[in-house]
Amino acid sequence: MESASWFRDDYHADRGAFEHAVARFVERSGRSLELHRYSVDASSDLSVTAALLHAQRRERLLVLVTGIHGVEGYAGAAVVRLLLSELLLGTDSEHTGILVVHALNPYGFAHKLRVNRNNVDLNRNCAALDADLMCHDDSAYAELADVLSPKRPARAGLAAQAQFALRMLRARARFGDKAVRQATLGGQYSDALGVFWGGDRVQPEIRFFQGLYERLAAQYPELLLIDFHTGYGDRGQAYALFGRTDTPSIAACTQLGVQSSEGRELTYDVFGDLVQYCYAAAKRLQPAGVFDGLALEVGTHGLSLLAQLQDLYTVVLENQTRHHGLARTEHEQSVQRAFSELFFPSDPSWRAQVLRNCLRAVSNLLMARGFISRR
């Protein structure tokens, strides 16, 4: 497959390509379309777009979500367009509905950020109530706050990166590898200008999704949710993570997590994530229903200690620069470029791997649940 034709590099072009792919799918499948939009910035024409293709009998629903982490959505959206052109045409329109959400975080998508306008990581913000977000224990993050979210102008370059790496290595020696990984990636709710901030209230983009999702979860007793991400893991490899599943074969896939080449477990837990929210809502609305949900993440760099330190430094530096500026402004473009490359690499071979590995993974998930027949 020619990977370049599936990818776009700006939000409006990507949304246009998504809408064209949906229209073409409707034309070829004969399904009826229900289109939902939620505007987050009318002046810049930024909106969440959700395409709902109902089944004639509301028995099972496939939910595909892209862009909850903004810039990560470019890869997920390319995969979704590929799925609409091929694999999803094999779904049974009588029994299987499809909901596809494009750019759940349109501000982050358009500006190539992971967070929304309020600096909220939306995949740490999926709670039923605002108060639920404040129940998280941030003590581990607090120990590393000065390293992860320094409140001063940023300094870029090798010396600054080496100093950051040294401080993180000391933290690993003191607290342990797993504790540091959890503190840095799991989400925090005490520092509004910090990395991985989950917010102090549920964001409107999430409220929009929750309203649509809960209406459908009350109608469809069987649900399969796939939330697309990029970043963590070996370059080009697809991982099924953070599974909440009722189907044993799918549970087995998600339990593999992320492992180093030596077999060490490198997965972390998240609080306030989309999959957990969707699972809880589905079980509340239909306790006897079947729910399988997971994040499908494609690695962009690697799992070595050096790669993890470099990636975390890139995230911290971008956040610090956005809030506190740079000591030397001539580094600003390089900071932004490094951040974008971390979550949406321009390398054609990586993009080809995204399509190939995600198509294989989604195909296996759909066959495991009987949403498509085995080929």
pLDDT score recorded for residue 267: 62
- The Cβ-side half-sphere exposure at 79, using a 13 Å CA radius, reads 33
Q: pLDDT tens across 243-258, in order?
A: 899 998 888 877 666 6
**Alpha carbon distance 200, 190 (integer Å):** 8
Residue 373 has pLDDT above 80, yes or no: no
Question: Which residue has tokens 């505007």?
Answer: 39
pLDDT score recorded for residue 269: 72
On whether residue 304 sits in a domain, the answer given is yes
Helix, strand, or coil (residue 63): strand
Total structural domains within the chain: 1
Query: What's the pTM value of the predicted model, to 2 decimals?
Result: 0.95
On whether residue 9 sits in a domain, the answer given is no
On whether residue 164 sits in a domain, the answer given is yes
Rounded mean pLDDT of 183-187? Answer: 83
* Host H or E run for residue 234: strand 222-234
On whether residue 266 sits in a domain, the answer given is yes
Average pLDDT, the chain: 92
Which residues make Cβ contacts (< 8 Å) with residue 314, sequence separation at least 6? 338, 339, 342
| Of the candidate ranges 131-140, 167-176, 349-358, the one whose mean pLDDT is the lowest | 131-140
Q: What is the CATH number of the domain that holds 322?
A: 3.40.630
Query: Which residues of 76-209 form beta strands (DSSP E)?
Result: 96-102
**Alpha carbon distance 186, 140 (integer Å):** 10
- The Cβ-side half-sphere exposure at 309, using a 13 Å CA radius, reads 18
Rounded mean pLDDT of 156-164? Answer: 93
Rounded mean pLDDT of 138-154? Answer: 90
Helix, strand, or coil (residue 247): coil
Q: pLDDT tens across 201-245, in order?
A: 999 999 999 999 999 999 999 999 999 999 999 999 999 988 899
How many other CB atoms sit within 10 Å of the CB of residue 374?
A: 9
Q: How confident is the model at residue 3 (pLDDT cuts 50, 70, 90)?
A: confident
On whether residue 363 sits in a domain, the answer given is yes
How many other CB atoms sit within 10 Å of the CB of residue 25?
A: 21
Rounded mean pLDDT of 176-182? Answer: 83
On whether residue 192 sits in a domain, the answer given is yes
Residue 263 has pLDDT above 80, yes or no: no
Rounded mean pLDDT of 166-171? Answer: 94
| Domain span at 333 | 33-369
On whether residue 274 sits in a domain, the answer given is yes
Rounded mean pLDDT of 331-346? Answer: 94
On whether residue 324 sits in a domain, the answer given is yes
